[in-house]
Amino acid sequence: MSEHKFLTAPDPNEKGWPKGVPYIIGNEGCERFSFYGMKSILQVHLTMLFVGTGLMQGTAEEHAQEMVHLFVAGVYALPMIGAIISDRLAGKYETIIWLSLVYCLGHAVLAVGENSIMGMTIGLALISIGSGGIKPCVSAHVGDQFGKSNWHLVEKVFQAFYFIINFGSFFATLLIPYLNAKFGPSVAFGLPGVLMFLATFAFWMGRKVFVHVPAQPGGQLGLLDALSSIFLFLGCIGLPLFIGLPQLFEGHIPSLGYWIVTGWLILMGLWIFEERRHISQDDGFLSIMMHSVGALISGASAKVRSALTSDVPGDSLQRHWFFSASAKKFGEDAAEGPRAVLRIISIFFMVSVFWALFDQHASSWIRQASRMDLHVNLFGLKMDLLASQISALNPLMVMALIPFNNFFLYPMIGKLGFQMTPLRRMTIGMGIAGFAFAVVAIIQGWIEKGDPNSVTVLWQVIPYLIMTQAEVMVSITGLEFAYTQAPTRMKSTIMGFWLLSVSLGNVLVAIVTKAQDRLLSLFAEVDPATGPTLTQFFWFFAGLMACAALVFGIRASFYRYRDYTQ
């Protein structure tokens, strides 16, 4: 497909809505419906498959929970690669359209291979690649459509984006579990696949009216950038996150083969990147970090600092213990980018524990709901719900709590003299998330002490409301914080790290689920015959979140805000 046939920059005189926006919004609505619909039935369906292999119900639920969170972790880790391919090699449109086809293939595999663990594994892996790859591109692509004269409409289009995401999530979480129960998994997994195909078709239909911002640098340099990033991602993040770290927590040292492959990937990535730098100098995040490390080891950084004269300002990066040589070679502005990224990563690290709790509404909270009375009577309206439908409360509550917080809660707190800075909101939100898990632990205690299905599922409304309030304070505020605290050229990089914190949180859940006999016994008495209870599992995460919120709050108190917003 020849890019020169399309617009490569928005019309600066266009005052109305860009012609490509409806196609992107339609694509996003169908894609989110397909993703959340498929995700809503994973825990239940995988549990059934593992039971079919001969596992006991409780063990099958744990295996399913581990698989669900590893899948979500993959979805949120791969945007690091998708962003590089999009920005450096292929461009956003090409990246989205081709990886959407991979996404569709994954749904097709789920629809025909739903009765085997292998079929589900392959299908989910393909969806991870497709969904993760396009995740960082779609919102950036919609921003590319706006020029100087219609830039004021960008806020409205992102509001429409957020609405369509929650709209799709709400109805998908109600409909797909019903289809699964009524018509079976082939239909339940097949319909999201059809919606994903329609999303891809809608996006393709808009190709002639989209603004196609070309990748930079593209060509050979872009290919080398993409290859080096893929190798370094797999060696430094992918294999350690999905293989090395879980094995260490299980008490095993990874095999020699693991260390050989990991080392080879890192060396290949560094070699390809060095070849790229020999062709043309680069001043991106990786170049500056590698130059800074090399200068620190060789002593070049110390020489730069010792040669400075008194006319160099005291806050100059040329006086920095790590970035001094890079600031001299690449310039202060270029070196400031990686420095800002590292500062923000130190904030994001503890947020990963929040995501470990939040994403359990697709796994452990469904496990709890399946043990509750799902027949409810609301104001005379009698309904028989499914355990996997309860999480539809989350998007519904999000749409209600955002205006409540922005127009009532935050202004009211401000009038009391307490400034709700982004990091304070996030600290409080993380504490609230821990409280939500304390509530589900109490509810689980009632379930385990009573008769089966004797506790109404309506009790879950309370922890859902608490956790959704935590989501609004942590997730949305975190995005705002990341955007304002990252220099312009590092905004895509920092969004990749933000999504990576979600991935790390889900890997944490998978690790604790698999090694809970050993891990939870460190904090509570565990019955050796039955293993940890779900109540103990919930209390563990409530305590972990409380500790993470405390550490986060201490780190946040030392953070000094900088405004890079253009």
Predicted confidence (pLDDT) at residue 369 exceeds the cutoff of 60:
yes
Q: What are the angstrom distances between the C-alpha of 51 and each of 60, 61, 111, 366?
A: 6, 8, 20, 17
- As a whole number, mean pLDDT of residues 119-129 equals 95
Per the structure, the count of domains in the chain is 3
Asked, for residue 562, whether it belongs to a domain, the answer is no
165 and 254 inside one domain: no
CB atoms within 10 A of CB 183: 12
pLDDT in tens, 183-241: 999 999 999 999 899 889 988 998 888 888 888 888 999 999 899 989 999 999 999 99
Per residue, the 3-state secondary structure of 455-511, as one string, reads CEHHHHHHHHHHHHHHHHHHHHHHHHHHHHHCCHHHHHHHHHHHHHHHHHHHHHHHH
pLDDT in tens, 451-504: 888 999 999 999 999 999 999 999 878 877 876 777 766 766 777 788 899 999
Residue finishing a domain among 339, 371, 388? 339
The set of residues, in sequence order, having a beta carbon less than 8 Å from that of 94 and lying 6+ positions away, is 1
Asked, for residue 226, whether it belongs to a domain, the answer is no
Containing 384, the helix (H) or strand (E) segment is: strand 381-384
194 and 288 inside one domain: no
**Got the DSSP string for 250-296?**
TT-PPPHHHHHHHHHHHHHHHHHHHHHHHHS---SHHHHHHHHHHHH
Please give the pLDDT value at position 483: 67
421 and 519 inside one domain: yes
Give me the phi and psi of 34, to 5 degrees please.
-65, -40
Asked, for residue 229, whether it belongs to a domain, the answer is no
Predicted confidence (pLDDT) at residue 510 exceeds the cutoff of 90:
yes
- In this prediction, residue 565 has a pLDDT band, given cuts at 50, 70 and 90, of very low
For the chain, give the mean pLDDT: 89
CATH number of the domain residue 99 falls in? 1.20.1250.20
380 or 447: which carries more pLDDT confidence?
447
Asked, for residue 242, whether it belongs to a domain, the answer is no
Q: What are the residues facing 104 on neighbouring strands?
A: none
60 and 184 inside one domain: yes
408 and 523 inside one domain: yes
147 and 26 inside one domain: yes
Asked, for residue 50, whether it belongs to a domain, the answer is yes
334 and 357 inside one domain: no
287 or 47: which carries more pLDDT confidence?
47
Predicted confidence (pLDDT) at residue 44 exceeds the cutoff of 90:
yes
Please give the pLDDT value at position 489: 66
- State the pairing for strand pair 381-384/375-378: antiparallel
CA distance 229 to 239: 14
Asked whether 389 and 460 are in contact (CB, 8 A), the reply is no
138-142, 155-159, 397-401, 451-455: range with lowest mean pLDDT: 155-159
68 and 210 inside one domain: yes
The parent domain of residue 521 ranges over 345-557
Predicted confidence (pLDDT) at residue 68 exceeds the cutoff of 90:
yes
- As a whole number, mean pLDDT of residues 303-329 equals 88
**Got the DSSP string for 125-143?**
HHHHHHHHHHHHHHHHHHH
CB neighbour burial string for 496-533, b if at least 16 within 10 angstroms, e if fewer: bbbbbbbbbbbbbbbbbbbbbeebbeeeeebeeeebbb
3-state DSSP call for residue 8? Answer: coil
- In this prediction, residue 566 has a pLDDT band, given cuts at 50, 70 and 90, of very low
Global pTM value: 0.90
Asked, for residue 243, whether it belongs to a domain, the answer is no
Residue finishing a domain among 311, 339, 367? 339
CA distance 155 to 566: 15
pLDDT in tens, 9-35: 888 888 888 888 888 888 888 888 999
- As a whole number, mean pLDDT of residues 334-360 equals 89
Q: What are the angstrom distances between the C-alpha of 344 and each of 47, 304, 459, 482, 504?
A: 38, 26, 37, 7, 16
Residue finishing a domain among 280, 315, 339? 339
17 and 57 inside one domain: yes
Asked, for residue 233, whether it belongs to a domain, the answer is no
CA distance 369 to 455: 9
- As a whole number, mean pLDDT of residues 493-522 equals 88
Write down the residue that tokens 């500062």 correspond to.
343
314 and 403 inside one domain: no
196 and 322 inside one domain: no
Question: Residue 396: CA atoms inside 13 Å, Cβ hemisphere, count?
Answer: 13
493 or 445: which carries more pLDDT confidence?
445
Q: What are the residues facing 7 on neighbouring strands?
A: 211
Asked, for residue 564, whether it belongs to a domain, the answer is no
205 and 254 inside one domain: no
